[in-house]
Structure 1
Amino acid sequence: MSEQGAVCYTFEAAVEMAITMEEEGFRHYLDAIRRVKNKGAKQILKEAALDELEHKLSLEKALLEGQMEGAGSMERQIPTMNLGYVLAKKELSPESDAREALAYAIHLEKGAIDFYQRMAQGCAGAPMAKLFDRLLADETKHLQQLEDMYEQHFMTEN
């Protein structure tokens, strides 16, 4: 595991790292969209990719403005079911269905959460910690939405 989270970066460096993280997430989703044939799987992946683009755009705006908008926005993580620990992590194939696409998206969001948690911990007590807390809260919100969808459609109790 990298030690990059053990250090607090300047605002610009931190935002650049976050932009790179969101871009990588978007590219993973785009690759998966091109790979799968199932319409439901494509739709799930497309919506998740659009979330990544939204994050990236807000980060790029923050880079231009020198601050993150929405100072009063949510900065607390949303509890999740941690389905990433019970769902198998695997690459998608052309035959992958909506269930596999959701599991894939859950794992990608969990990776982003881990990244932002390391960054927030590295900046604990510094003004930059609030930026990462906000990004972490956004990612946990997305993860919760994906897990809720998975639970609604694929958990045995439903």
Structure 2
Amino acid sequence: MAEIEQGDVCYTFEAAIEMAAQMENEGFRSYLAALRLVKDKAAREIFKDAALDELEHKHQLEKWLVEGQMKGGGELQKPVPTMNLDYVLAKRELRPDSDAREALAYAIHLEKGSIEFYQKMSRGCEGAPMAALFKQMLADETRHLQSLEDLYECHFMAEN
């Protein structure tokens, strides 16, 4: 995603959607590679669910690309607050023996990257028609992150 590193920029509708679809596909490929690598059943389930979420996002983006505009969806969803566990969880390389805890940490870091992408795109496109699209995708990504963090908290935080 080096092309986004140049600052908050808005692209044409088509270019913006293409970039977002590519980012979602990269996330899908990362989860697929993780799914193929790890043996732990719970870790595999985490990666399977996350991969399917990425596919759903990519499909929605490509549908908007085909239609030439955003359709449906109705009211804009708002991003949800997250715990920012990515700051306390080490980002580690996965191994075949990685467990559910490591899988959740890995997924949390990937989702945080998606959130940063959509934050940057929505800021760069403020006032443009596709800003709403990126805000919608940002809201979806924050919900995914919140769900991963909740799962981590439920199973691995000290007070539980």
TM-score (norm. length: structure 1):
0.95
2:120 maps to which residue? 118
Residues 86 and 22 (structure 1 numbering): CA distance in 2 closer, same or farther, change over 3 Å?
same
Cα deviation for residue 129 of structure 1 reads 1.0
Cα deviation for residue 5 of structure 1 reads 4.7
1:26 maps to which residue? 28
What is the CA deviation profile of residues 85-132 of structure 1, one whole-angstrom value per residue up to 9, with x for unaligned ones? 110011110110000000000000000000111111111122221111
Work out which of the residue numbers 73, 79, 82 in structure 2 matches 1:80. 82
2:54 maps to which residue? 52
Helix, strand or coil at the partner of 2:48: helix
Superposition RMSD in Å: 1.3
2:64 maps to which residue? 62
Do residues 151 (structure 1) and 153 (structure 2) align? yes
Name the % identity.
70
2:130 maps to which residue? 128
- C-alpha distance in structure 1 between counterparts of 2:148 and 2:12, whole Å: 32
Question: Is the Cα contact below 8 Å between 2:42 and 2:100 reproduced in 1?
Answer: yes
- C-alpha distance in structure 2 between counterparts of 1:116 and 1:61, whole Å: 18
Residues 92 and 73 (structure 1 numbering): CA distance in 2 closer, same or farther, change over 3 Å?
farther
Runs of 4+ with deviation above 6 angstroms: none
Residues 77 and 5 (structure 1 numbering): CA distance in 2 closer, same or farther, change over 3 Å?
farther
- C-alpha distance in structure 2 between counterparts of 1:143 and 1:105, whole Å: 8
Cα deviation for residue 58 of structure 1 reads 0.7
1:12 maps to which residue? 14
- C-alpha distance in structure 2 between counterparts of 1:97 and 1:127, whole Å: 42
Give the length in aligned residue pairs.
Answer: 158
Do residues 137 (structure 1) and 136 (structure 2) align? no
TM-score (norm. length: structure 2):
0.94
Question: Is the Cα contact below 8 Å between 2:76 and 2:132 reproduced in 1?
Answer: no
- C-alpha distance in structure 2 between counterparts of 1:8 and 1:57, whole Å: 22
Question: Is the Cα contact below 8 Å between 1:19 and 1:56 reproduced in 2?
Answer: yes
The residue identity in structure 1 corresponding to 2:105 is A
Question: Is the Cα contact below 8 Å between 1:5 and 1:121 reproduced in 2?
Answer: no
Is there any run of 5+ residues in structure 1 with no aligned partner, and where?
A: none
Helix, strand or coil at the partner of 2:79: coil
